[in-house]
Structures are given as C-alpha cells and as structure tokens.
Amino acid sequence: MRTSLAPVEAALLADAHRRALLILETEEAHGRAELAKARAIADALLEGARVGGESAAERQAAVELATTRREAHGLVLAARRQAYEALRRSALEEMERRAGTEEAVRLKERLAVLARTRLGEGATVQQGAPREIGIVAVAGNRVALVSLEELVDHHLALLAPQVEGLWA
C-alpha cells in the first residue's frame, strides 16, 4: 500500500512543504513585527522607568517581552496547524479524486484482507460504494471500520517525522 501511494505522498509532502514555508514566512514576519513593537514598548518603558526606578521597568519589560514571545509562539503554532490541516485536506481531496480508480479497488481489497486477518477468516467485509474508499468488517460482536479519513490520518501520522522537519 505504501508504494502505490508514494507518488501521492511525495506530491502532497512537496505541496505541504511549499505551503508551510509560505505560511511560516508570513507568520514569522508578523511575529518579528510584533516582537519589534514589543521591544519598542519595552525600550520606552525602560527609558521612563529610569526616571521612576529601573527595577520596575525591568520587570515590566520582561513581562512585555515574555507576552510577545508567547504570542509569537502562538502564531507559529497556528501556522503549523494551518499547514497540517491544508496537507490533510489535500490528501483527502486527492484520495477522493482517485476513489474510482483501479488503485482504489486494490486498496479496498487489501483493506478487506487486513480486516479478515485481524478479525478472522469468518469476518464479513462490506466495501463502500464504488466511488468511496473504506470498508466495514464484522466478526461476531467485533467490528473494524476503516474510513478514508482514518487512512489519511494514519499515513500522516507515519509522515510526522518528515512533516516535523518542515519546521526545522
């Protein structure tokens, strides 16, 4: 299954990398601007505090800087989340686009074999409509459900180390 999806994974990873870099650059620029504003505020506070007391200004500057860093970190995390969601959405769209292909038929057949392996040869396997990817397998009171979303989430989890490398 991994080999048949390798070109899709590579294309999605490349697209996600491009999108992630764009989002990250934008958010980092915003974070730098916010940090510059915070530093300007902190500088102004420091100058005013020299008149009224340096220790109070240092505490305030530290608070302002910590707040700004926290906000900048939040922006970076939000950008990462947006990039991940875009990658997931792209993967789902691509899999939905390929749902009627021979490749999808083979995937559903492999999923049925996997379900029977896990639930036993007596398991009843129902496949979705021809343009859907996923199966439901039942053996007694045990049920295995594999949906398109679960397949994509599973493969994204396998790609997590590579996706994490986008941020390095």
Q: Mean pLDDT per segment of 10 residues, for the chain of length 168 residues?
A: 66 77 82 84 78 74 89 88 88 86 86 87 83 86 86 87 77
What is the domain partition of the chain in residue ranges? 6-165
The tokens 């870099």 sit on which residue?
21
Residue 134, classed as helix, strand or coil, is strand
pLDDT at residue 5, as a whole number? 67
Burial of 147: CB neighbours in 10 Å, binned 0-12, 13-18, 19+ = middle
The tokens of 89 are what? 């959405």
Residue 124 · residue 141 · CB < 8 Å: no
Of the candidates 80, 72, 75, 60, the one whose C-alpha atom is nearest the C-alpha of residue 36 is 72
Distance CA 165, CA 159 (A): 10
**115-142 as b/e: b if 16+ CB within 10 A:** bbeebeeebebebeeeeebbbebbbeee
Distance CA 29, CA 25 (A): 6
Q: How many CB atoms lie within 10 A of CB 31?
A: 20
What CA–CA distances, in Å, run from 147 to 34, 35, 42, 71, 128?
42, 44, 52, 37, 9
The tokens of 114 are what? 């996997």
pLDDT at residue 30, as a whole number? 83
